[in-house]
Amino acid sequence: MDERFIELAEAAQAEALQRAIDNRVRYQGESAEDCDSCGDEIPEARRLAVPGCRLCVDCQVLLEVQRV
Ligand SMILES: [Zn+2]
């Protein structure tokens, strides 16, 4: 496997990931810009990584801890 092939494979992988993210945003709706619970701004990286998320990281962790 030469370097050119690895580059192509990585580019294809990045493109597939981006497509998957786009699709999830499309099908699961927009993420909230501010946390539903505490009103803090939700970082863009989290909104993109977790489509449709309504809570900031802190509140999400609290929720999951309470659920256990
Ligand atoms: Zn919050």
Q: Report the predicted TM-score, pTM, of the whole model to 2 decimal places.
A: 0.52
58: pLDDT strictly greater than 90 = yes
Contact present, 31 and 47 (Cβ < 8 Å): yes
Q: Quick one: pLDDT at residue 16?
A: 86
For residue 25, the CA-to-ligand 1 centroid distance in Å is 21
For residue 30, the CA-to-ligand 1 centroid distance in Å is 17
Count how many domains the chain has. 1
- The alpha carbon dihedral of 10, 15, 19, 22 has a sign of positive
Q: For residue 34, list its beta bridge partners.
A: 41
Domain span at 31:
2-67
49: pLDDT strictly greater than 80 = yes
The confidence band for 27, taking pLDDT boundaries of 50, 70 and 90, is: low
Compute the distance between CA of residue 23 and CA of residue 33 in angstroms, rounded to an integer.
19
Q: What is the mean pLDDT of the chain?
A: 85
6-16 pLDDT, tens digit each: 898 889 888 88
For residue 46, the CA-to-ligand 1 centroid distance in Å is 12
